[in-house]
Amino acid sequence: MRAVVIAIGVWVASSLAVAAQVQGVELDTPEPIPEFSLSDQDGQTFTPDDLEGNWTVIMFGFNSCPDVCPFTLGNLEHAISETAMRVRPDNVPNVVFVSVDPDRDAEVVSDYALYFHPEFLGVTGARDQIDTLVEATDSFYRLMPPDSNGYYEVQHSSAVSVIDPEGNLRAKLQPPFDAGLTAEFLARLQIAYRREKS
């Protein structure tokens, strides 16, 4: 974990008691996301330009993850639907599933994300581009050695990253992404952001 993220405070401050149950942390100093280029299965690119002007939630995973990743994406779908009831339509975060396993997922990564919500984006790309985004969001993944059948496990961060409309990493959220509490966290994060900008 980089020092900047260690320095962040758990988002409980003076907020409601229920907020203490959200495992979300807000960065003291938002971190800009550097240049990277990923793409969906049809070749449509996903770059920092796509972060501008809207909130984005980025999750790392892989398609051959039948237990935790679908659970996380399903919970995120509920959380984003709940958020949509609390914020302006143009402030509903875009959810981006980034596969860290392009060799197996490049051709189906978008279909995988779309299954959970018709507007979820699924992308992957070259290893160095994935690594750039992983590092910029203080995330982690590791491809494990393959077994005799060529099958390999993938370890990855369970947290998701919240990017503000200027393309800065502003918060991290840990599962299980309770819908109501996550929506409350995101709505308050947006209020704090607007106050900062006004």
List residues near other proteins by CB under 8 A: 63-68, 70-71, 74, 104, 108, 111-112, 114-116, 140, 147, 149, 151, 153-159, 174-175
Whose Cβ is closer to other proteins: residue 110's or residue 190's?
110
In whole angstroms, how close is the CB of 77 to other proteins at the nearest point? 10
Whose Cβ is closer to other proteins: residue 114's or residue 192's?
114
In whole angstroms, how close is the CB of 32 to other proteins at the nearest point? 22
| CB count in 10 Å sphere of residue 35 | 10
The owner of tokens 């990564």 is 109
Measured CA to CA, the distance from residue 52 to residue 69 in angstroms comes to 26
Whose Cβ is closer to other proteins: residue 63's or residue 83's?
63
In whole angstroms, how close is the CB of 75 to other proteins at the nearest point? 10
The β-bridge partners of 58 are 96, 161
In whole angstroms, how close is the CB of 48 to other proteins at the nearest point? 25
Our CA dihedral for 39, 132, 154, 176, rounded to 10 degrees, sits at: -90
Whose Cβ is closer to other proteins: residue 12's or residue 140's?
140
Whose Cβ is closer to other proteins: residue 89's or residue 145's?
145
Quote the Cα angle for 53-122-85, to 5°.
55
In whole angstroms, how close is the CB of 118 to other proteins at the nearest point? 13
In whole angstroms, how close is the CB of 121 to other proteins at the nearest point? 14
| CB contact at 8 A, 193 and 91 | no
Pairing of strands 24-32, 38-39: unpaired
Is the bond into 145 cis (omega within 30 degrees of 0)? no
Whose Cβ is closer to other proteins: residue 86's or residue 117's?
117
| CB contact at 8 A, 62 and 154 | yes
